């Protein structure tokens, strides 16, 4: 068992010294936000400041070096970065092919009302994320296609990006195949079926409110634009590239995995683009072409995730999370306080870790232990953890999911550089609605119920998958 003396021997200022790098990172993020300079690359710079602070607060520099390598060799980090590179190529392909012009031409021919387009974006993301269970995959397929089209039709780009993030987090929170849904069920020793069934009302309430807000703000902010010049430049063959997002979604539904699905989408899209003359062969390997240009667009986000993972390792080394858990558990003396403790673990844990799935895996077992003492139903803990973790996933400007959505949007090239990264979270309506709905449920006790003593749904994650 690690004692206070052990922690003091590793860090100057004890546990606070292990938390200080993250606090320094947050201060830099807040400063960037006030200056309107927060972005994927500048978040990386802020994370580097936290990395430097960690170097000075850790006494054993050799151990610090070990933690830096541990962060670099994380399988989760490697998979995430690979997916980002592939997403960059898909976004670049859509931009170079002229698909946006063709979609605008189709919309004009059909007489589509641009004011309802933010709602359409939200619903499209809801359907895809609910089917596939992945927010990152949803953003990858929706953003390059619908965001440029929305901006061309006069929709508010901030509202449109918020709709993509919101719709993507809807399925991440509810879909039976979502990693957060599975992790929340397993951590609370219950079934995915029970979790989805009891979580559904919360998600629907938040979703309906969000849909109404996208309709309202769609009518308030959309400025109808004359896009006839884009229609004149349209290449109908570019519409064939719509097979790329459809193929990616279908393959994910077949459980082929996000990386496999995106690789196949890129291969098929490249073949179509070259065969139809949408992208010249010379642009395939050029410095600003399909592959290199797609990679470059996502490179800015890499330092952030690397240094962020190191700070998380440093916090684990200093037992910061363990100290927080002990503090919360000690105060969970009643049924209501136990549920509040679960909400605090999900909320504060999300702020510290910035990944919904990792937050649930890290704090889930302790939530189960606390709620079990008061006979609270297993699905209650799963829903609190997942609902709040996904809410913060779409609201924290430094969370993995939020940054993926923003970076994908920036890569389309249709966003004004002056738009602050912080502005998108004000339009992530579903994430705000999830936060309000679940905390209201916790504080009022609505939805809380006793655990069934005959429920033996201790569940193996392999069977769930």
| Spatial distance between the Cα atoms of 87 and 300, rounded to a whole number of angstroms | 14
pLDDT of res. 464? 33
What one-character DSSP code corresponds to residue 422? G
What does the block give as tokens for 349? 């844990």
* DSSP letters for 210-245: HHHHHHHHHHHH------HHHHHT--GGGGGGGHHH
Q: Between 100 and 405, whose confidence is greater?
A: 405
Neighbours of 407 (CB within 10 A): 25
Compute the 3-state secondary structure of the chain and give helix, strand, coil in percent, each to the nearest 5.
Answer: 75, 0, 20
pLDDT for res 85:
83
Q: Which of 447, 401, 415, 455 is nearest to 172 (CA)?
A: 401
459 confidence band (pLDDT: 50, 70, 90): very low
Residue 134: pLDDT band by 50, 70, 90 thresholds? confident
Asked if pLDDT for residue 213 goes beyond 50, the answer is yes
Q: Please count the residues of the chain.
A: 465
- Residues 6 or more apart whose CB falls under 8 angstroms from that of 279 comprise 93, 96, 97, 270, 273, 289, 290
Q: What is the mean pLDDT of residues 240-262?
A: 83
Please check the confidence at residue 72 and state whether its pLDDT lies above 50.
yes
Mean pLDDT of all residues in 308-325: 84
What predicted TM-score, i.e. pTM, was given to this entire model?
0.81
Mean pLDDT, the chain, integer: 85
Q: How far is CA 200 from CA 171, 277, 283, 394, 437, in A?
A: 11, 46, 47, 19, 12
Scan for tokens 């993030």, then name that residue: 165
Give the integer Cα–Cα distance in Å for 132 and 336: 35
Say yes or no to pLDDT of 55 above 90: yes
Residue boundaries of the structural domains of the chain = 68-465
Taking the CA atoms of 93, 96, 100 and 101 in sequence, report the sign of the dihedral they define.
negative
Interior CA angle at 263 toward 260 and 265, to 5°? 110
Task: Return the pLDDT at 458.
Answer: 41
The values of phi and psi at residue 428, to 5°, are: -85, 70
- From its phi and psi, is residue 111 left (phi > 0), alpha (psi between -120 and 50) or beta? left
- 162: pLDDT strictly greater than 90: yes
Tokens for 146, please give them: 């619908």
Mean pLDDT value of segment 18-34: 87
**pLDDT for 384 beyond 70:** yes
In the DSSP assignment, the letter for residue 443 is H
Q: How far apart are CA 295 and CA 465, in angstroms?
A: 31
Residue 434 has pLDDT above 50, yes or no: yes
Q: For residue 417, give the DSSP letter.
A: T
Name the pLDDT band for 465 (thresholds 50, 70, 90).
very low
Question: According to the model, what pLDDT value does residue 2 have?
Answer: 57
Predicted local distance difference test score (pLDDT) of residue 4:
66
Residue 462: predicted pLDDT: 31
Measured from the Cβ of residue 141, the count of other Cβ atoms closer than 10 Å reads 31
Region of poorest pLDDT, from 132-146, 353-367, 443-457:
443-457
Are 465 and 257 in contact by the 8 Å Cβ rule? The answer is no
What average pLDDT does this structure show over 127-149?
84
């Amino acid at each position: 068992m690690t004692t206070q003396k052990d922690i003091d021997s590793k860090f100057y200022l004890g546990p606070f010294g292990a938390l200080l790098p993250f606090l320094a990172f947050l201060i830099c993020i807040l400063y960037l936000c006030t200056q309107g300079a927060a972005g994927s690359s500048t978040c990386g710079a802020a994370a580097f400041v936290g990395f430097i602070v960690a170097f000075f607060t850790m006494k054993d520099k050799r151990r610090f070096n070990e933690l830096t390598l541990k962060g670099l060799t994380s399988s989760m980090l490697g998979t995430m970065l690979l997916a980002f590179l592939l997403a960059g190529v898909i976004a670049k392909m859509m931009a170079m092919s002229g698909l946006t012009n063709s979609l605008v031409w189709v919309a004009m021919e059909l007489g589509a009302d641009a004011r309802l387009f933010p709602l359409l974006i939200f619903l499209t993301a809801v359907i895809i994320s609910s089917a596939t269970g992945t927010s990152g995959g949803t953003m990858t397929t929706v953003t390059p296609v619908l965001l440029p089209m929305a901006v061309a039709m006069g929709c508010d780009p901030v509202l449109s990006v918020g709709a993509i993030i919101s719709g993507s987090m809807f399925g991440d929170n509810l879909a039976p195949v979502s990693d957060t849904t599975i992790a929340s069920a397993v951590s609370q020793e219950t079934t995915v079926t029970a979790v989805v069934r009891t979580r559904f009302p919360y998600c629907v309430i938040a979703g309906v409110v969000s849909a109404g807000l996208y309709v309202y703000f769609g009518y308030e902010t959309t400025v109808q634009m004359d896009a006839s010049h884009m229609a004149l430049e349209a290449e109908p063959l570019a519409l064939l590239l719509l097979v790329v997002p459809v193929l990616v979604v279908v393959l994910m539904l077949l459980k082929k995995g996000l990386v496999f699905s995106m690789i196949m989408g890129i291969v098929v899209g490249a073949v179509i683009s070259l065969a139809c003359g949408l992208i010249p062969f010379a642009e395939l390997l050029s410095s600003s072409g399909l592959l290199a240009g797609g990679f470059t667009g996502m490179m800015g986000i890499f330092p952030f995730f690397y240094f962020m993972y190191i700070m998380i390792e440093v916090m684990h080394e200093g037992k910061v999370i363990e100290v927080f858990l002990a503090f919360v558990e000690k105060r969970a003396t009643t049924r209501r306080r136990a549920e509040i403790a679960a909400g605090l673990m999900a909320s504060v844990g999300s702020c510290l870790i910035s990944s919904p799935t990792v937050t649930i895996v890290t704090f889930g077992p302790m939530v189960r232990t606390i709620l079990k003492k008061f006979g609270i139903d297993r699905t209650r803990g799963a829903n609190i953890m997942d609902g709040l973790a996904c809410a913060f996933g779409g609201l924290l400007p430094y969370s993995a999911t939020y940054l993926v959505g923003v970076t994908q949007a920036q890569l389309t090239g249709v966003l004004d550089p002056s738009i602050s990264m912080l502005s998108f979270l004000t339009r992530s309506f579903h994430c705000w609605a999830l936060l309000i709905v679940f905390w209201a449920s916790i504080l009022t006790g609505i939805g809380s119920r006793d655990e069934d003593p005959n429920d033996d749904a201790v569940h193996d994650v392999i069977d769930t998958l």
